[in-house]
Structure 1
Amino acid sequence: MKKQILAIAVLSLTIFSCTSDDDGGSTTPNRAELYATSTANGDITVYDLVNGTSTLTTSSTSNEGIQYDAGSDELFVASRSDLYLSVYPNIEAQVNGTMTAITGVNSAANLISPRALAISGDKVVVADNDTNQFYVFTRTAAGLTLGDVVDTGFPVWGIEFVGDDLYAVVDSSSDLAIYENFLANSSISLLAPTKQITIEGIVRTHGIAYDATDNLLIMTDIGSAMSDSDGGYHLIPNATTQIAGVANGGTLSVATQTRVAGSNTLMGNPIDVTYDTVLNTVYIAEIANGGGRILGFSATASGNATPNESNMLAGASSVDFYNE
């Protein structure tokens, strides 16, 4: 089974439990990899059940925004230091439990303050927080070409494709913006969302992940950016149906969600999230608590839960998980 979600660092081996097969036994996945970036350096750290920890070094000195494309075996990463989007090929062979200097292709330095990435086919969308824009790149045989630049009218952070729709968090708020058929409309320079709703219980959202298998949406809550202990995340089950039932400008009740937050969670500014159905684990990039951590929670966690895993990573900024 292949899982790619929408996306920092090293987790201990125990976070990757064996998966169950149809006969009730256990199997070890062929690949189970958490890709992680940091704003403290340009390393991409990959923790892998099969090969152990790999460190992929790049020429960048600060990264945020990462997505692995299993179909092409390429890793897309946004550089905050050099303000370009990079694509690195032949990743599977380079995740081998060692430190490896990887080389790829960079776009022009078009970005100002890149945050999250989302991939659909040969299109890679970068959310830029300072400009309130989406940058739409096309992956070609020659590299990465910038096409449409879409003004949103609000600060953006996490983004995720849900089918043809782009889900985007509205930074400095508890809102979720939905752009139906985004790529078909990205030539519109100032594009209003089809729907914008409030997620009750969130103070300030940043990270977002969607799992189509479970129809599960996860959004993080950083609370106050100045606090390293008031963060959390929300699990929204039956997500597309719930969201469709909320009118534009309306509020999704917290009673229909599961909130994980509190002193035991070690969350202050959880700025990115990814999810794996096979391992039933929510992975969080926490940038404030302890100077930066990678946290792993059971999908059944709720309230003031203690993470199953807490591993230090200075400047933890984005995560993406792949399993097959």
Structure 2
Amino acid sequence: MKTIQLFACGVLAFTLTNCQTESVDSSMIDGYNSKASKSYEMDEAMKGHSVYVSSNTSGMLSIFNVQEALEMPSMKVLSLPYMDADGVEYDANRDAIYQVNRSDKALVALSNISEAMNGDVLIPTAMGPSTFENGRGSDLYNNKVVVVDDVTPGKLVSYHVNEEVISDFRQYHVGFEVWDVHVNGKDLWAIEDVSSNLVYFENFHNAKSGDLMYTAKVAIEGLVRTHGLDYDAGTDTMVLTDIGSASGMPTSASDGALIIIHDFSAKFMTAAESGMIGLDDQIRIEGDLTELGNPVDVAISTDKHAIFVAERAQQKLLIFDMPMSSGNYAPVYSSSVPGASSVTIDF
């Protein structure tokens, strides 16, 4: 939390406003933000070792258990009563998944995930109101899920959630096409679609419905079109995906990349003045060995020193070791996931 407050102050200094620390319910933040709490009683075999992958074509939720090794996870596939899904979040307090059901244009809850067996059919235990048209990425924060509505101009929709009830909370108009978001404490990061831009909203936690003005926006040098992002506050590491060609759907199945930015807070503040985070401030995974063509979502684990990727063009889950330098690295694990569209982890 100290890292979050210091970073917010730094950005506010750039925008020439006063920085004041606001009180935060630490128990609430610890319980929900970034899947921090693992207190729910669940099977030890699945506790804190699972990777969840949505599909926008198959009507399946794929779950990989990486407890034994990143290179040889066990796997189970669960059936859903809808075919097209995107953003996926795991709530450890309730052993529930919140998923963007694009078929019905609604956020849904799926309960008792750890108890489900391979091949089981999951029926949603809650469905939210249909308040988005083109749902994409999402993130779990406090007792809410924010969903991206990738329309023109872009929109964010926030819901109160639990495994039994999902209700509309707030709606925000951000003024640009948006693909994915990550909430960190009281702040929010967003991907501007069809661009190389990363956008920062300070104090999103307290924002009211309506127009939402961003605090800062920077471009990522060398990035063609970004889609997925994840941030680890403990190590101050940001990871972004590059899907390559920005003219409609990518024309190449091998032009994707991952961008890793360490010491992200200082680099972003410096870039807020120049408008760009340069190549020298990035580590890049790209090349023919990577299997990266259209990496639409990403999750990072500093405990396991790994990056997990939903790769849409190759229709796979890819797992990479966290690199120390740029390179053309092969994934340590690659597995078919038809229609792979989003990924999250519970560790």
| TM tier relative to shorter chain | 0.7 to 0.9
Q: Which has the higher strand share?
A: 1
Query: In 2 relative to 1, CA 77–248 (structure 1 residues): closer, same or farther, beyond 3 Å?
Result: farther
Where relative contact order (Cα < 8 A, 6+ residues apart) is larger, the structure is 1
Shift of 1:91: 2.1
Identity %: 30
Which secondary structure state, in structure 1, belongs to the residue aligned with residue 300 of structure 2?
strand
* 1:5/1:274 contact within 8 Å kept: no
* 2:34/2:141 contact within 8 Å kept: no
Count of paired positions: 296
1:289-308 correspondence to structure 2 within 5 Å: 289=314, 292-300=315-323, 302-308=326-332
* 1:3/1:322 contact within 8 Å kept: no
Quote the RMSD (CA, aligned, Å). Answer: 2.2
* 1:38/1:62 contact within 8 Å kept: yes
Q: Which has the higher helix share?
A: 2
Shift of 1:29: 8.5
Once residues 258 and 91 of structure 1 are traced to their aligned partners in structure 2, the CA distance between those partners, rounded to angstroms, is 35
Which residue in the other structure is 2:232 paired with?
211
* 2:33/2:185 contact within 8 Å kept: no
Task: Structure 2: give runs of 5+ residues left out of the alignment.
Answer: 1-30, 36-44, 68-72
Q: Report the TM-score when normalising by structure 2.
A: 0.80
Which residue in the other structure is 1:38 paired with?
55
Once residues 76 and 179 of structure 2 are traced to their aligned partners in structure 1, the CA distance between those partners, rounded to angstroms, is 27
CA displacement, residues 190-236 of structure 1 (integer Å, 9 cap, x when unaligned): 21211111111211100001112221110000111222111101001
Once residues 334 and 74 of structure 2 are traced to their aligned partners in structure 1, the CA distance between those partners, rounded to angstroms, is 17
Shift of 1:5: 5.1
Query: In 2 relative to 1, CA 60–88 (structure 1 residues): closer, same or farther, beyond 3 Å?
Result: same
1:14-93 correspondence to structure 2 within 5 Å: 30-49=47-66, 52-93=74-115
1:232-311 correspondence to structure 2 within 5 Å: 232-247=257-272, 250-289=275-314, 292-300=315-323, 302-311=326-335
1:137-148 correspondence to structure 2 within 5 Å: 137-139=159-161, 143-148=165-170
Which secondary structure state, in structure 1, belongs to the residue aligned with residue 52 of structure 2?
strand
Shift of 1:89: 2.3
Once residues 119 and 272 of structure 2 are traced to their aligned partners in structure 1, the CA distance between those partners, rounded to angstroms, is 50
CA displacement, residues 216-260 of structure 1 (integer Å, 9 cap, x when unaligned): 110000111222111101001011222123226711112011011
Once residues 129 and 141 of structure 2 are traced to their aligned partners in structure 1, the CA distance between those partners, rounded to angstroms, is 21
1:110-259 correspondence to structure 2 within 5 Å: 110-131=131-152, 132-139=154-161, 143-187=165-209, 189-224=210-245, 225-247=250-272, 250-259=275-284
Shift of 1:49: 4.1
Shift of 1:185: 1.3
* 2:32/2:91 contact within 8 Å kept: no
- The amino acid that maps onto 1:310 is S
Task: Structure 1: give runs of 5+ residues left out of the alignment.
Answer: 7-27
* 1:4/1:70 contact within 8 Å kept: no
Once residues 71 and 124 of structure 1 are traced to their aligned partners in structure 2, the CA distance between those partners, rounded to angstroms, is 14
Once residues 184 and 85 of structure 2 are traced to their aligned partners in structure 1, the CA distance between those partners, rounded to angstroms, is 24
Q: Report the TM-score when normalising by structure 1.
A: 0.85
* 2:46/2:114 contact within 8 Å kept: no
Shift of 1:313: 1.7
Once residues 317 and 201 of structure 1 are traced to their aligned partners in structure 2, the CA distance between those partners, rounded to angstroms, is 23
Query: In 2 relative to 1, CA 248–167 (structure 1 residues): closer, same or farther, beyond 3 Å?
Result: farther
Query: In 2 relative to 1, CA 285–74 (structure 1 residues): closer, same or farther, beyond 3 Å?
Result: same
